[in-house]
Chain A
Amino acid sequence: MEAAGESLRDTELRLGLPGTDAPEKPASTVTRGGKRALPEDDEDGYAKSNKSSEEEEQGEGDLCCQEPPAAKAQVVGWPPIRSYRKNSLHARKVEGEAAGLYVKVSMDGAPYLRKIDLKVYKGYKELREALDDMFKCFSLGEFPRKEGCSGSEYAITYEDKDGDLMLVGDVPWEMFISSCRRLRIMKGSEARGLGSRH
Chain B
Amino acid sequence: MTYFPEEVVEHIFDFLSSHRDRNIVSTVCKAWYRVERLSRRIVFVGNCYAVRPGRVMARFPGMKCLSVKGKPHFADFNLVPHDWGGFALPWIEAAARGCPGLEELRLKRMVVSDESLELLARSFPNFKALVLVSCEGFTTDGLAAIATHCRGLRELDLQENEVEDHGRQWLSCFPDSCTSLESLNFACLKGEVNAGALERLVARCVNLRSLKLNRAISVESLARILARTPHLVELGTGSFTVEHRAEAYQRLIHAFRKCKSLKSLSGFWDVAPRCLQSIYSICPNLTVLNLSYAPAIQGADLVKLIRHCFKLQKLWVLDCIGDKGLAVVASTCQELQELRVFPSDIYGTGTAAVTEEGLVAISSGCSKLNSLLYFCHQMTNAALITVAKNCPHFTRFRLCILDPGKPDPDTNQPLDEGFGAIVRSCKDLRRLSLSGLLTDKVFLYIGEYAARLEMLSIAFAGDSDKGMVYVLNGCKNLRKLEIRDSPFGDAALLVNVGKYETMRSLWMSSCDVTLGGCKALAAKMPRLNVEVINDRDESDEMEENPSDMHKVEKMYVYRTLAGARNDAPEFVEIL
Contacts and interface: CB of A to CB of B under 8 A. Distances in A.
Nearest to B484: A77
A170 B463 CA distance: 53
A45 B485 contact: yes
A163 B405 contact: no
B403 A77 contact: no
Contacts of B292: 85
A72 to B, nearest CB: 6
Contacts of B295: 89, 92
Given A44-B510, A80-B400, A34 B378 contact: yes
A78 B400 CA distance: 10
Contacts, number: 132
B216 interface: no
Contact of A77 (B79, B134, B299): B79
A45 B510 contact: yes
Contacts of B344: 89
Interface residues of B, number: 60
Nearest to A71: B347
B160 A27 contact: no
B342 A81 contact: yes
A69 B459 contact: no
Given A45-B510, A49-B463, A81 B77 contact: yes
A76 B553 CA distance: 13
B403 A36 contact: yes
A139 interface: no
Nearest to B408: A31
Interface in B266-282: 269, 272-274
B77 A77 contact: yes
B85 interface: no
B484 A71 contact: no
Contact of A75 (B404, B406, B437): B404
Q: Which of B188, B355, B510 has the most CB of A within 10 A?
A: B510
B487 interface: yes
Interface in B74-132: 74, 76-79
B25 interface: no
A27 B406 CA distance: 6
Contacts of B296: 178
B352 interface: yes
A174 B298 contact: yes
A165 interface: no
A1 interface: yes
Given A27-B460, A80-B76, A172-B299, A161 B343 contact: no
B79 A172 contact: no
A86 interface: yes
A78 B188 contact: no
A148 interface: no
Interface string B374-391: 010110000000000000
Contact of B274 (A34, A75, A162): A162
B346 interface: yes
Given A36-B377, A44-B510, A161-B272, A27 B405 contact: yes
A30 B412 contact: yes
Given A79-B346, A89-B344, A161 B298 contact: no
B406 A48 contact: no
B76 A1 contact: no
Interface string B334-357: 000000001110111100100100
A76 B273 contact: no
Contacts of A30: 412
B402 interface: yes
Interface string A168-189: 0000101100110000000000
A102 B72 CA distance: 44
Contacts of A37: 403, 406
B417 interface: no
Q: Is the interface of B mostly helix, strand, loop or mixed?
A: loop
A155 B272 CA distance: 25
B204 interface: no
A174 B378 contact: no
Interface string A24-59: 001110110010111100001110110000000000
A47 B199 CA distance: 55
Interface residues of A, number: 44
A74 B298 contact: no
B215 to A, nearest CB: 9
B196 interface: no
Contacts of B78: 76-77, 83
A79 to B, nearest CB: 5
B405 A39 contact: yes
Contacts of A46: 404-405, 460, 485
B409 A34 contact: yes
B551 interface: yes
Interface in B404-431: 404-407, 409, 412
A197 interface: no
Contacts of A48: 460, 485-487
A198 interface: no
Q: Which of B76, B269, B344 has the most CB of A within 10 A?
A: B76
A80 B459 CA distance: 10
Nearest to B292: A85
B179 interface: no
A113 B375 CA distance: 44
A4 interface: no
Q: Which of A45, A75, A77, A81 has the most CB of B within 10 A?
A: A77
Contacts of A27: 403-406, 437, 460
Nearest to A174: B298
B273 A83 contact: no
A130 interface: no
A80 B77 contact: yes
Given A77-B79, A79-B346, A172-B299, A28 B437 contact: yes
18 contacts: A27-B403, A27-B437, A28-B405, A31-B406, A31-B409, A36-B349, A37-B406, A46-B460, A46-B485, A77-B77, A77-B78, A80-B457, A82-B134, A83-B162, A88-B293, A161-B272, A174-B298, A179-B273
Which 3 residue pairs spanning A and B have beta carbons closest together? A27-B405, A77-B77, A84-B160
Given A49-B487, A72-B349, 8 more contacts: A1-B510, A69-B349, A80-B457, A85-B293, A85-B342, A89-B295, A172-B299, A174-B298
Interface of B: 74, 76-79, 134, 160-162, 188, 241-242, 245, 269, 272-274, 292-293, 295-296, 298-301, 342-344, 346-349, 352, 355, 375, 377-378, 400, 402-407, 409, 412, 433, 437, 439, 457, 459-460, 463, 484-487, 510, 512, 551
